[in-house]
Amino acid sequence: MTESPDFHGPHIGPHRRDAELVDWREPEPRFDRVRIRRHTCDCKARILELCTAGGVAWVRKTDRFESGSLVWESRPLKTNEAEELWRKLLDGKAR
Ligand SMILES: [Zn+2]
């Protein structure tokens, strides 16, 4: 495989019937410098990003449309909790 992982990230799995609902909120500009630790594949309309800043982490969800995009964020979590949420979202155990 020669594909760069930066370009082609993982895809979000279809969510399960019992998937837990994430408390998505409108994004707040909390930090000047936000680091994107992981992101899902750019080929899909919906992109998830695992963001960190100031010792906390959260997941950002972007739905892209022709007319623009809609951004939601989970509440800030400890890094390991955010990693857990990230895995659940990719596995379809959270949505
Ligand atoms: Zn893809």
Residues 35-75 have pLDDT tens digits of: 999 999 999 999 999 999 999 999 999 999 999 999 999 99
Q: How far is the CA of 42 from the centre of ligand 1 (A)?
A: 6
Q: What letter represents residue 3's amino acid?
A: E
For residue 1, the model assigns a pLDDT of: 44
Q: How far is the CA of 12 from the centre of ligand 1 (A)?
A: 9
More confident residue, 3 or 68: 68
Residue spans of the domains in the chain: they are 36-91
Q: How far is the CA of 7 from the centre of ligand 1 (A)?
A: 9
Q: Give CB contacts under 8 A, 24+ apart, made by 84-92.
A: 85/22, 85/59, 86/38, 86/48, 86/50, 86/59, 88/19, 88/20, 89/12, 89/22, 89/48, 89/59, 90/10, 90/12, 90/13, 90/40, 90/48, 91/13, 92/12, 92/13, 92/14, 92/15, 92/16, 92/19
pLDDT in tens, 4-31: 555 678 999 899 999 999 999 999 887 8
